[in-house]
Structure 1
């Protein structure tokens, strides 16, 4: 079971993530969109979108600092465990709360606004609820580990995660990880598995063509009745 969850499942998710995007881009380019519902209703959208996006950005930065950068680097530059933990909690909780409140506002809007609900597909529902579980489980794990003497994921989850990228799979590192961290990791991988089949693909829709296209010229329409 340990090998299935922490050794095989991540690579299956990676295969689905990459393959799903390639297949969808090849056969469903017209569906490659966020399907904005702003024109249907702006209520709760502005604050929900802002909180979710800014929260996710800072949460992503925190995950890079905690998972990608080895603990030895922090030791080498003189950042102690307590200092790192204080930074992680001090920045992680506000960012997580912002993202969680943002997704709650969007979920509420999606399922209580009649016009928006009418245009909500099953994929939209799955994506929103999956993201809610990911953010909620991550925030719960942060609160459960608020004690500076608690679990140090930099010696377990972080090396396990980095090992996946150079095929040094070590599922034993996840054996003693608290259940709330395991829940967050599995929820995140599940979310990435369904990502290519939802509106989340819009994240990769970067408008590079705007850099090279000709400028659009706007001309003011003359008033025919003017003297």
Structure 2
């Protein structure tokens, strides 16, 4: 079982995550969205969405620091084990509870707002269950790692070395087997969440509207026939993928639209 969970399942998870994401992009680009429901309800969304997104961002950063940066590095910078755990407890607990409250509000909103609930797929419902379980398990590991027995083996000596060993294709199964039950449960739930990721609304996290920064503006021409100013018409950026034409007053009166931020 240890061989499967800590030596085989992580690579199955990566294969499903990468393969599922490629499949989703090739065959379901129109579904590659969060299916925004702000028009149906915005009051709870304005509260729950920032709590969840900012909270999960801090949680991800905390995981990267805890799993990727070896203990020897923090020791070299003079960060003692007590200081490290105090920071982990403070930031981790606050971010974890913010994420949990945020996702709780979003789930309540989705369940009690008819049109929003109707737009929720079965995959998304499963994803919410696994996501909440992962957050709760993560909070439990954060608290137990600090308030537990002082001589207990920590995740920096078990989970972190195992995680880093996966990248060199030499899984340190013994290290992960030596971790406590709460970390094992949290890790398994996390891998399950990543396997569900490509098939739910979470897939939108892999995209960012970077191209929007480089889109030209939309230039609207008046229909009322007013004369142009002495300075003439101020042009926007050249349209993307179309022929560049210089507008004249006649075109302006006919309602021609040029330019392009869309």
> What TM-score, normalized to structure 1?
0.93
Alignment correspondent of 2:233: none
Q: What are the ranges of 5 or more consecutive residues in structure 1 without an aligned counterpart?
A: none
Alignment correspondent of 1:28: 28
Highest relative contact order (Cα 8 Å, sep 6+), 1 or 2? 1
The within-5 A match list for 1:1-227 is: 1-147=1-147, 149=150, 150-217=152-219
After superposition, the Cα gap between the structure-2 partners of 1:27 and 1:84, relative to the gap in structure 1 and judged at 3 Å, is: same
After superposition, the Cα gap between the structure-2 partners of 1:118 and 1:170, relative to the gap in structure 1 and judged at 3 Å, is: same
After superposition, the Cα gap between the structure-2 partners of 1:171 and 1:219, relative to the gap in structure 1 and judged at 3 Å, is: farther
* Alpha-carbon shift at residue 151 of structure 1 (Å): 4.1
CA contact (8 A) 1:41 1:115 kept: no
Higher helix share: 1
CA contact (8 A) 2:154 2:179 kept: no
> What TM-score, normalized to structure 2?
0.81
Q: Number of aligned residue pairs: give it.
A: 224
Q: What are the ranges of 5 or more consecutive residues in structure 2 without an aligned counterpart?
A: 227-262
Alignment correspondent of 2:248: none
Report Cα offsets for 1:98-136 as digits up to 9, x if no partner. Answer: 001111111111112222112211122112221111111
* Alpha-carbon shift at residue 221 of structure 1 (Å): 7.8
CA distance in 2, matches of 1:195, 1:178: 26
CA distance in 1, matches of 2:75, 2:199: 41
CA distance in 1, matches of 2:185, 2:176: 12
